[in-house]
Structure 1
Amino acid sequence: MMAKNEFGQPVGEQIPEWVPAPLPSAQTLKGRYCTLERLNPDKHAEQLYAAYSNESDGRDWTYLPVGPWENFQTYFAWTQQAAASVDPRHYAVVDNSNGRALGTLALMRHDPANGVIEVGFVVFSGALKRTRIATEAHYLLMSYVFDTLGYRRYEWKCDSRNEPSMKAAHRLGFDYEGTFRQHVVYKGRNRDTAWFSIIDGDWPRGRAAFNDWLDPSNFDNRGQQRRPLSINR
């Protein structure tokens, strides 16, 4: 039955048990295949720049407000700024098999009072894309947000023209909520922003799907998945 107030108006359900969520503070989040480490320029920047430099062009930076970088010095300077930031809070994705950082992602737009937080600044090198490490990196951050910090809503936003990002959001279990027209100006261009979210009620199903997909038995001796990640609503 729809909740109503004393005036007979429909209102949202009461959540008397809600208390503001804590701000993210983890320095490391360790998984089976990768570890998320708080971005450290002295430790990670050289490895990240080398991984990004293996790409043939700068297309991975088209839909980001920063990059591509002219040289290591300019990238290192940016990592220093990023590492000092609390919001966004940047993490390096480190391959557990060799200890090398292959990409980054961040928790941003922290809204602990309402239990809302966003994942962004996702920059995965070619060595990371379409691997179980990439999927586990997202899983680790989601699990931290929902299971450890107790947030209610986890957001993903991207340029509505960024088809790879849109597809990734769907695969990872985010629900599309609509497009904000003329939302941002970046790199001298307009951005219509597509909004996606996962809410805490979705997460138990998502957690189970991620754990099933990430299980070693889901991969053959060539590392190919036996069944795709499927997060049904």
Structure 2
Amino acid sequence: MAEPQLNVKDLQGFYGESHILHGMEFNVAKGEVVTLLGRNGAGKTTTMKAVMGMLAQRSGSVTFEGRELIKLPSNEIARQGLAFCPEERGIFSSLNVYENLTLPPVVKSGGMSLEDIYQIFPNLKERLKSQGTKLSGGEQQMLAIGRILRTGATFLLLDEPTEGLAPVIVQQIGAMIRLLKQKGFTVLLVEQNFRFASTVADRHYVVEHGKVIDMIPNDQIAANTDKLEQYLGV
């Protein structure tokens, strides 16, 4: 079996005195869509921030394509081809859609062109001169993801991309994730909605109290629905 593209071992993470991650361990193969499932406060977002070097106090091992990232600053990690799309999306209200899209630097060759991004998200092309925060929630999510596709990232960390969106927009986000997978992108997804996650992901890691307590392949999710509902308190 090939070495995973991302391999996380014994990942510890702290916010000040608070010990949040207690030995997170998981891996993601190139071209996979993998979810971190868990209740609020389980440590899913903190895990993503620790992988990206955005958590000041972290230890353990995070390797990407064989290179250890745990000591690298976040700007160096981004240059390896990883990009984080936060739950709050981080759209700049003073900039229009085009300016938001083109603001981040291209850190690695092979990023999508603006035309490629408009093909995936035709709504954005129609709204280029609109103020970023005047977009609908779904359009803001598309803008946040489109923005990182330009940078050259091939490994995307998406934090709750469907949170608060109407069902029809959730379906669009799902179609977009499946399309990115077809194009060879790798996606690590934080989700609470395992029913949505099951429409896009290959595998699911269940996170509780800052560590992985189970891994469920997507083709076994129907047989594990009761267990997942218990884990997630649905």
What TM-score, normalized by structure 1, do the two folds share? 0.31
Give 1 or 2 for the bigger CA radius of gyration: 1
Higher helix share: 2
What TM-score, normalized by structure 2, do the two folds share? 0.31
